[in-house]
Amino acid sequence: MKVGYCLAVALSLLVLALSLASFVGVNPDVPEQVPYRFTGYPTWLPKLKGFDPNQLDATLLFNQIILLVSSYFAIKCAFNPPTNRKLITRFYSTSDRDAASFPTTDFDRVLASYIVLTLLCGVTIFIAGVGKIWVAVGVLHNAAEFAILVMLGSGQGLCFDWALIIEFTRIYVVTLRELRLHHRDNLEELVEPEEDDPFSHHKSYHAILSHPHQILLLIIGAVFHVAGNIGFTVFRFSFYAYCVTYPAYAYYIYLDLHVTSNHPQKRIYLPENPWWKVAVISIISISLSLLTIRAGV
């Protein structure tokens, strides 16, 4: 089996090498910075054939409105967690059956912060353009993506957008499998008698979701994020796909913390992350990111 692991890593390295080879012959010169039309600050937004600044402004503003609304609801839901234990989702590890579970509240708060930081990046683009100030703010956006991967047990560390798609998909598939094999666990074991605050609004009737299909919102959000990156890189200044990403994340936070499920307890199972899987996911994520850049050159 170890030979298979090494073969998977070797094949992913081959894909990375081919991705790097695709840049042979590409002009390595960095585009000259031009003054941004609002502030005059140097940016990497050169005048391109067919570029319509009014279209860029409209799509940016529309995205900021979507992000602002998503940020408000995400923060409101994530930082006002339920007191009813039936509403609380818990992470479980498939690699260590004896490990203690833990609530997803902190993950939801990081996800909400990620939406807010993305809003800040968008505001920076609109005010100062894609320049060095935007790069400094964009680091916070990437740091939030890294924090999400670390909380899910995969600190790939690079090219987070593609890694999020892979990791969210793995979590969804593993959780489906574990719930279908529910005879391994007693889903009632951590559902303690309720000691809820009688004055809490969470004591009211709740909608019921088909767990774990709400995780599909994370996958959809990550896919549209990558689609937005491809659209911006290849088709120049196309932000439409981003309009789906962050509302999907905000809606997931609401479902995760404020809706009950068709199971006695909402469980999310985190997949195993041995060294070879982390290596393959990291290398494939880097390769896909390089190919995205290459398509836009």
Indicate the Cα dihedral angle 227, 229, 231, 233, nearest 10°: -150
**pLDDT score, position 186:** 53
**pLDDT score, position 246:** 95
Longest dimension (CA), the chain: 69
Q: Which of 1-15, 171-185, 277-291 has the lowest mean pLDDT?
A: 171-185
Q: What percent of the chain has pLDDT over 70?
A: 84
Strands, sheet with 267-270, edge to edge from the N-terminal-most edge strand: 102-103, 90-93, 267-270
| Residue 289 banded pLDDT, cuts 50, 70, 90 | confident
Q: In the structure encoding, which two tokens stand for residue 156, read together?
A: 């790939």
Helix axes 132-151, 105-128, angle to 10 degrees: 170
**pLDDT score, position 160:** 64
**pLDDT score, position 248:** 96
Is there a contact between 41 and 128 (Cβ–Cβ < 8 Å)? yes
Q: How does the average pLDDT of the chain come out, rounded?
A: 82
What's the pLDDT tens digit per position in 108-161? 999 999 999 999 998 998 888 888 888 888 889 888 988 888 888 654 444 567
- pTM score, whole prediction: 0.85
Q: How far is CA 21 from CA 11, 17, 258, in A?
A: 15, 6, 49
Please work out, in degrees rounded to the nearest 5, the angle formed at the alpha carbon of residue 245 by the alpha carbons of 127 and 267.
Answer: 135
What's the pLDDT tens digit per position in 261-273? 877 788 899 888 8
